[in-house]
Amino acid sequence: MNRRARGARTAGGAGTPPTARTARAARTARAARPVLAAFAAALLLGACTGNGESAPAPAPSAASPLPATAPTPQGLLLTADFGADTVTFVDPERGAVASVPVGRAPYGLAVGADGRAWVATAEGVAVVDTRTRERVARIPYRTGTGPVTDGEYRGGGMGIALSPDGAHAYVGVNVPGTTGVLEVVDTATREVTAVVPVGRRPFDVDVSRDGSEVYVTGHDSFDVTVVAAGSLSPRRIEVAPYGTEGGLGSWLKPHYAVVRPSDGMLLLPFEGERLAVVDPRTGRTTIEAMTADTHQHGAATTGDGRLLVVGTGPVEPGEGKGPSLTVRSPDGAERVYPLSGPHEDVAVSRDGRTAYVTGGYTRDGYWNGITVVDLDSGATRRLPAGARPLGIAVL
């Protein structure tokens, strides 16, 4: 039985058949081995890819941020430069135009209606005025996260989201070696007002459409923590369509989630094979089949209900297909766009016709740019951006 056939099953049912458990365990053991650097290098160093994607021009130096010279027009992109201490403003046609120092190893970011960006760094939550291109504050975490470092397992902020009214920023804080926390920031006073326990390594934070709940995806604990915005009481939902075998060494864990606009369900993609659809009210998870057959990370939705998912490539050569962007319609039909090299996160233009996919993959093989995908034609091109960009937003 192939992996895609297994992916059509429903989680939480009578259990996984012995043959599937055996195959899954074998795959988990293989997946725990590091990604081969040669695979990433072969994809990233070519001057032009097989799908017509051109290599980027040299990215701006992280050591010498570009100056902030003019008010920021609507439609620019903003990236969190995990390989530097900056956020970078990127023109969708020309590439990087300015960078602003924010703090060590910025991961996720969220932009409010007032034009302020809230950036989760290793040192605290940075606040950037995107109109004047300056950092106006950096709010330290209340939780101790150890030495300030770089890399995938560094302590500090990871996923971050704003409440619909902009009154609160919610940041998932990784505490190395133990469970993480959700820190609640009052955006008016710029102070941490509450700390809520959540899962391990909170890759992503999302908020319900009405702002009543916050959803924290715990990568290393195979879960989503639902936090009531009023009482701040947490409730754990396990999300593990492949089971939890392998523990911290497993690749088959949740990474990013989105809130489905039509009904508030949480959508979490796994391996280009399984889409976990989680009802945050009941905790029930059902599984729908996906088709990209690739390790998946970042996700986003469009105004018309399409789901966009970033594929980083196979866990191990021969165990799946290459990097891609999946565009899934509300009826479940998928179109898969091949990409060159690993990517991490994705944002969509205001008209829903263009996707911007960051090249700053959390593991080895990242590159310093953005792939622009025309969602009508599938054509791709590369833009230079900051150093190892992860989080991205359209201004």
Which CATH number does the domain housing residue 100 bear?
2.130.10.10
What average pLDDT does the segment 318-334 reach?
A: 96
The answer to whether 354 touches 374, Cβ cutoff 8 Å, is yes
Residue 60 in this model has a pLDDT that exceeds 50: no
Higher pLDDT, 34 or 385: 385
Residue 61 in this model has a pLDDT that exceeds 50: no
Among 54-58, 176-180, 296-300, 359-363, which stretch is predicted with the lowest mean pLDDT? Answer: 54-58
Residue 382's beta-bridge partner residues? Answer: 371
Give the pLDDT band of residue 73 (cuts 50, 70, 90): low
Alpha-carbon gap, residue 47 to 37, rounded angstroms: 18
pLDDT in tens, 82-129: 999 999 999 999 999 999 999 999 999 999 999 999 999 999 999 999
Task: Dump the DSSP string for 214-265.
Answer: EEEEEGGGTEEEEEETTT--EEEEE--TT-STTGGG-S-S----EE-TTT--
Higher pLDDT, 102 or 315: 102
Where are the strands (E) in 352-395, listed by range?
354-358, 369-374, 380-384, 389-394
Higher pLDDT, 315 or 387: 387
> How many C-beta atoms lie closer than 10 Å to residue 350's C-beta?
11
- What is the extent of the structural domain holding 139? 3-394
Residue 68 in this model has a pLDDT that exceeds 50: no
Residues in the chain: 395
What average pLDDT does the segment 276-290 reach?
A: 98
pTM of the model: 0.84
Higher pLDDT, 341 or 19: 341
Give the pLDDT band of residue 6 (cuts 50, 70, 90): very low
What average pLDDT does the segment 146-172 reach?
A: 97
Q: What is the side-by-side strand order in the sheet with 354-358?
A: 346-348, 354-358, 369-374, 380-384
pLDDT of residue 31: 38
Cα R_g (the chain), whole angstroms: 19
How far are the Cα atoms of 86, 112, 235 from residue 89, in angstroms, in the given order? 10, 16, 37
pLDDT of residue 365: 87
Torsion, CA 254, CA 376, CA 112, CA 237, rounded to 10: -20
Average pLDDT score over the chain: 86
Domain count, the chain: 1
Give the pLDDT band of residue 382 (cuts 50, 70, 90): very high
What average pLDDT does the segment 150-166 reach?
A: 97
pLDDT of residue 40: 34
Q: How many CA atoms lie within 13 A of 153 on its CB side?
A: 6
pLDDT in tens, 198-223: 999 999 999 999 999 999 999 999 99
pLDDT of residue 205: 98
pLDDT in tens, 341-380: 999 999 999 999 999 999 999 888 899 999 999 999 999 9
Residue 5 in this model has a pLDDT that exceeds 60: no
Alpha-carbon gap, residue 386 to 200, rounded angstroms: 28
Residue 70 in this model has a pLDDT that exceeds 50: yes
